[in-house]
Amino acid sequence: MKLFEYQGKEIFRKYGINVPKSFLIEKKDEIKKIDMPFPWIMKAQVLVGGRGKSGGIKFANSMQEAEKNFDEIMQMEIKGERARKILVEEKIKIEKEYYLSFFLDRSSRQYLMMFSSEGGVDIEEMAEKVKKIYVNPMIGLQPYHLRCLPKEARNIASKLFKIFVENDCELAEINPMAVSKGNIIALDSKIIVDNNSLYRHPELPKETSELTPLEKEAREKNISFVQLNGNIGVIANGAGLTMATLDALNEFNGRGGTFLDLGGTDNPEKVKQALELIVKAKPKVILINLFGGITKCDTVANGIIEFMKKNETPTIVARIKGVNEDIARDMLKDYVIAVDSFEEVAKKAAELGD
């Protein structure tokens, strides 16, 4: 889960990392309530990089300029994403900039601290100047690691590492980390938390702006659901079968869009919820590919029929194999296009979705 800049900075404050004075606004009239002398920096709050190059970070020297900036930022699209909030900060006089981050390096199974004496630019642009220091998770950050950094950066590195570990982060980054009047200040924040650890962190913000409204609805119902561009909705059970189905569709030039993993459930209510979500995504055709091991095929069929009796549904192509498949096939014969072969079900869905 990616955190917005303002959310990351709230965490920084809790751990004693200095950040600029700031105000978060959503509406234009909130600008006049900001009690902070000019000049300001106004930053679009989006979950993608490259805000500065896209015009999502602007300076304001007057109220009139701030209002103009607000309109421009809220109307722009940054890598396909629109800002819903703007972080207004005091402008800091920068004497020097650093880059600092902790990253989960899966290839080495270690934490990786990265530091550069040049901050404020993309990490890719300064790769040769980045100092990489591996940290064994079993022993954590040690004094000898910190001695590789300038003295003024060591304390903030310790605090950032604590944030990284205690919040189950995949990435905790400050870029730029500025020296101003003898103080170290985090001018930006980038934090990515491992989704699998969220149950341990009820204190973390629950905003999911990176999800579509349907994906948010699915998460609330505890359903694995991803909405992509395409005209074929896929329902399967198990991540492996779901991905294999998408691959098979691709083989026949089918544009698989929304896909949903039912997991091991055969609860008719869950099946109906799954179909409801898929239908809301407005696919041209729905492909259902289920293997009933734990899942009973006839129970799944019952959920499909109950939904279709009460709702308008696109054409459904189904391949259902496993426990009670004969019963399920007989139940569904008047409702779906039944196909036995994995290859044929993908081919048929691709043809109907064309």
Catalytic residues: 99, 173
C-alpha–C-alpha distance, residues 109 and 158, integer Å: 20
Q: Which among 233, 197, 239 has a CA at the least distance from the CA of 214?
A: 233
CB 9 within 8 A of CB 189: yes
Q: Using the CB atoms, write b or e for 252-278: b if 16+ within 10 Å.
A: bebbbbbbbbbbebbebebbbbbbebb
C-alpha–C-alpha distance, residues 295 and 282, integer Å: 27
The structure tokens 């870029």 sit at 175
Where would I find the H helices in the chain?
Answer: 5-14, 51-54, 63-75, 143-146, 151-166, 213-220, 239-251, 268-280, 297-310, 325-332, 342-353
Q: 3-state DSSP helix/strand/coil percent for the chain, to nearest 5?
A: 40, 25, 35
CB 8 within 8 A of CB 20: no
Strand duo 315-322 + 337-338: pairing: parallel
Q: How many CB atoms lie within 10 A of CB 119?
A: 21
What Å distances lie between residue 105 and 112, 175, 177, 195, 255, CA to CA?
Answer: 6, 19, 22, 16, 34
User: Hey, is 115 helix, strand or coil?
Assistant: strand
Please give the angle made by the CA atoms of 339, 341 and 347, to the nearest 5 degrees: 75
